[in-house]
Amino acid sequence: MNRAKCLRCCSSSTRFQIPARIPPFSRLFSDQKRHAQAPKPIIDIKHIRQNPALYAQNCIDRNYTRQATHPQSIIDLHTEWQNLQTSAKALRTRANLLGKGLASKSPSDIPELAGLSRDALQDEAKAIKAQLATISPSETAALAEIEALALELPNITSPDTPLGKDHEVLSYINEAPAASASTKSHVDIGTQLGILDFAAAAHTSGWGWYYLVGAAAQLEQALVQYALTSAKRHGWTQVSPPSMVYSHIGSACGFQPRDQHGEQQVYAVAQAAEDVARGVPAHVLAGTSEIPLAGMKANTELQMGEMPLKRVAVSRCYRAEAGARGASTKGLYRVHEFTKVEMFAWTEPHDEDVFEEMLDIQTEIIESLGLHARILAMPASDLGASAARKVDMEAWFPSRAASMGDGWGEVSSASMCTDYQARRLATRLRYKGDLGFPWTVNGTALAVPRVLAALLEAGWDENSGTVAIPECLRPWMDGMDKIGPNLN
């Protein structure tokens, strides 16, 4: 397979190196109150203060314009905190001296207290105590605000990521379909064959949901089993994760309730008023098993002998942002709930081999399914908060080409997140004698709805009214090589 060679040749020859940082155990943020089960983020505040222009420009490049002022705000708050520390130190020094004087039979023997009566010493000590009572909460508030601002900053972008808004085409998978190929949409194909039912789902759940019936439901399971088999063959360990997670776990992975544009991202589970009052942490439905997989090692210390730690999971995924209705979101392309096989791994810092292996697995799957696809290095403006680098794979959808003029549609992606998630989840790594942070990578082995839609369109034969089933899926399709009106 030449995918790996193409990517390595097309991408930067320089391996991704983030700027030098302070030791990973250094932390300059508050121990603000949080739920006992929530991991305490370990953010490198000093690195932000020392490189404000880097972080500000990174926010601009990634279209996080609101956060672009955060680095300077962090510097200003740190200066304020230092001034409070200096004031508090001077007051405590004076308070200790007053305490020494009050404990002495002859306070006037202490040069700094000469001429002060015992009543004057007591009055000054009370005044200092009141001042310190005001300063201490201000110190805590400043540190809490510094941490909150730092947590909103996106990851530092990899040099392999194109700047701007345009992606870079790295390579292609399989040959392009003939110009005479059908442009019938998967919605029409599935409806004609009786294997997709959007109308019933609209009555049951609303727009953005669907029923897979008969051969389509069987094809979903075949796709899942094939993707799992492919990943496990490369040494990935299968996990069955929960579909519901604490909201703070999702946030630590870079998934906020709303994105930077204010659009709803996740489904939150309603809480009883008494649970809210008691501080019970909120739950959300996971938009990808990346989130519960990352959470597996929250508040955990990993060892170098475990690296890389590779996991693959199949789960139902829930997305609130199914998008506006139209050709670009028609049918199975953008839905609220779907099945996905996800790969997630922890690696030692600066190890990109697992990321490349992940891309190889994705390429192998798409190639075996016979889909024409292209591999893209995604631009900085398209990256989520956690990713330093992102590679997408887009399949060719004939119906999208006919209705929109652009037939490409994303079917998988892979992201390298460096230590962004590990720091926020307090996942540590005993690395070369020090306690640092592992890097995390994640990638879609297979997202069922879009791949299923692409297979229906690519395999459709108008003359026979059938859809060809890729050979690699037939072991899970009872040996069927086609889906048709008399075969389903």
User: 175 labelled as ligand-binding?
Assistant: no
Whole-number Å distance between alpha carbons of 317 and 293: 13
User: 124 labelled as ligand-binding?
Assistant: no
Whole-number Å distance between alpha carbons of 124 and 96: 12
Contact 411, 374 (CB under 8 A): no
Whole-number Å distance between alpha carbons of 50 and 27: 14
Contact 85, 75 (CB under 8 A): no
For 390-403, give one letter per residue: b (16+ CB within 10 A) or e: bbbbbbbbbbbbeb
Cα–Cα–Cα angle for 137, 138, 141, rounded to 5 degrees: 85
Order of strands, sheet of 267-268, starting from the edge strand that comes earlier in the sequence: 244-246, 283-285, 267-268
Contact 244, 269 (CB under 8 A): yes
Whole-number Å distance between alpha carbons of 344 and 361: 13
Whole-number Å distance between alpha carbons of 338 and 430: 37
User: 245 labelled as ligand-binding?
Assistant: no
Cα separations (Å) of 31 from 27, 40, 135, 428, 436? 10, 8, 16, 18, 20
Cα separations (Å) of 59 from 3, 181, 376? 31, 44, 22
User: 471 labelled as ligand-binding?
Assistant: no
User: 174 labelled as ligand-binding?
Assistant: no
User: 337 labelled as ligand-binding?
Assistant: yes
Q: Residue 407: which of 418, 396, 417, 394 has the closest Cα?
A: 396
**Beta-carbon-side half-sphere exposure of residue 103 (alpha carbons within 13 Å):** 6
Cα separations (Å) of 194 from 277, 280, 468, 478, 483? 50, 45, 16, 19, 11
User: Which tokens belong to 240?
Assistant: 């069955």
Q: Name the pairing type of β-strands 309-318 and 237-239.
A: parallel
User: 414 labelled as ligand-binding?
Assistant: no
- Name 20's Cβ contacts closer than 8 Å, sequence gap at least 6: none
Q: What are phi and psi of 232, to 5 degrees?
A: -65, -30
Helices (H), 155-267: 186-193, 198-204, 215-233, 247-252
How does DSSP assign 179-199, residue by residue? Answer: TTS----HHHHHHHHT-EEHH
User: 342 labelled as ligand-binding?
Assistant: yes
**Residue 393 carries which DSSP code?**
E
Contact 384, 365 (CB under 8 A): no
User: 320 labelled as ligand-binding?
Assistant: yes
User: 79 labelled as ligand-binding?
Assistant: no
Known binding residues for ATP are: 319-321, 335-338, 410-413
Known binding residues are: 288, 319-321, 335-338, 342, 410-413, 442
Known binding residues for L-serine are: 288, 319, 342, 442
